A and B are shown apart, each in its own frame.
Chain A
Amino acid sequence: MAKVFIYPATSLILSDLVARYGHTPLSSATAIRERIQTAGIESVPLQITPEEPKKGLRWAAVEVPSGVRGRMALYGPMIDSCDAAIVIKDSDLAFGCMGCARTNELVKYLVREKKVPRLDLNYPKSEEEGTRFVAAIKRFLEGLGGGK
């Protein structure tokens, strides 16, 4: 069972398909859950403490905004531990109230640099594209081997 990093990390579709074909999706929910379920200092809403931007220094330089470094404290360990990655390129939802464009660029760069098997896709816009989308993900995940 491979650990598959998904981008956008909050994607319902990727999270479902990766788990459906027997692998472990690495999503932001699991990283947030770790913090929500760990006792410590109250830091609403996401339990992101001042320690996180310090941890983020592993992936981003000190002059990078703390928001990027704080986010990298969530995504960095997942990228480090992933065996493969699926990236949706036209994922506008990754930018906005829960996203950060610079973090997204850094995340995609680190995934590319890690040289793990990677599948780049766009969201399907028709039924035919949907079939190709699911088939490509299925082929990719079956190619990783070890699916549950």
Chain B
Amino acid sequence: MTGYAPKYPGTVTKYIVVESPTLTPSELAIHAYEISQGVMIKETCFGLAINGSEDVVDDLIRKLRAFDPDHIFVKDRGFVPGDPRRCRSSLGGARPGFHGIEFETTVLPYVSHGLTELRSRDAGSIPAPQDTLETKKLDVYTLKKLIEALEP
């Protein structure tokens, strides 16, 4: 059992995910390097990971988001960029959280479309989402058929 001392106490790390037809993560990284003030920036395949004090990181994100507000998404991260407990350079393969981002990246174009639409439409005039997943419960007759079909 060994003691643990955090490397960057009091800082926050945030992911910036770029899903834009006009802006690549590397372009955004260059912009971030130009306007950053003492924060750690790591470029990834889907965007950036930024670590620093909360107010500086929030200010940087506000400026970066202005480049393409409907196609840049931000979330918190627990670990600092390159942390050997999570970074794939030391573990191999994608880190577990990547699969969540990978899945949600497939949905981001629809969300971006919604954000763009809401610039010209009032949210109150848009109907509520339909619940497309309301499934009927399996009735006993169908269950019996399934069981009989499985018997040899």
**Which residues on A are within 8 Å of B, measured CB to CB?**
8, 10-13, 15-17, 19, 25, 27-33, 35-47, 89-90, 92-93, 96-98, 121-127, 129-136, 138-139, 142
Assess whether A33 is in contact with B13, with CB atoms less than 8 Å apart.
yes
1/0 contact string of B1-42 vs chain A (CB within 8 Å): 111111011111101010000000000000000000000000
Assess whether B113 is in contact with A127, with CB atoms less than 8 Å apart.
yes
Chain A residues lying within 8 Å of B104, measured Cβ to Cβ, are: 11-13, 93
> Nearest 7 CB-CB pairs, A to B?
A130-B110, A32-B78, A134-B114, A29-B76, A135-B126, A42-B4, A130-B114
**Contacting B100 at CB < 8 Å: which of A10, A32, A39, A132?**
A10
CA distance A20 to B104 in the complex (A): 17
Chain A residues lying within 8 Å of B118, measured Cβ to Cβ, are: 131, 134-135, 138
Shortest CB-to-CB span from B106 to chain A, Å, is: 9
Q: Which residue of A lies closest to B117 (CB)?
A: A131
Chain A residues lying within 8 Å of B80, measured Cβ to Cβ, are: 36
Assess whether B114 is in contact with A135, with CB atoms less than 8 Å apart.
yes
Chain A residues lying within 8 Å of B9, measured Cβ to Cβ, are: 37, 39
Q: Which residue of B lies closest to A27 (CB)?
A: B76
**Which residues on B are within 8 Å of A, measured CB to CB?**
1-6, 8-13, 15, 17, 73-80, 83, 85-86, 96-97, 99-101, 103-104, 107-115, 117-118, 121, 123-124, 126-133
CA distance A93 to B117 in the complex (A): 27
Chain B residues lying within 8 Å of A142, measured Cβ to Cβ, are: 123
Shortest CB-to-CB span from A63 to chain B, Å, is: 27
Shortest CB-to-CB span from A9 to chain B, Å, is: 10
Assess whether A36 is in contact with B79, with CB atoms less than 8 Å apart.
yes
Chain A residues lying within 8 Å of B12, measured Cβ to Cβ, are: 33
**Contacting A10 at CB < 8 Å: which of B97, B124, B127, B131?**
B97
Assess whether A36 is in contact with B6, with CB atoms less than 8 Å apart.
yes
CA distance A64 to B121 in the complex (A): 48
Assess whether B128 is in contact with A27, with CB atoms less than 8 Å apart.
no
Assess whether A12 is in contact with B100, with CB atoms less than 8 Å apart.
yes
CA distance A123 to B108 in the complex (A): 10
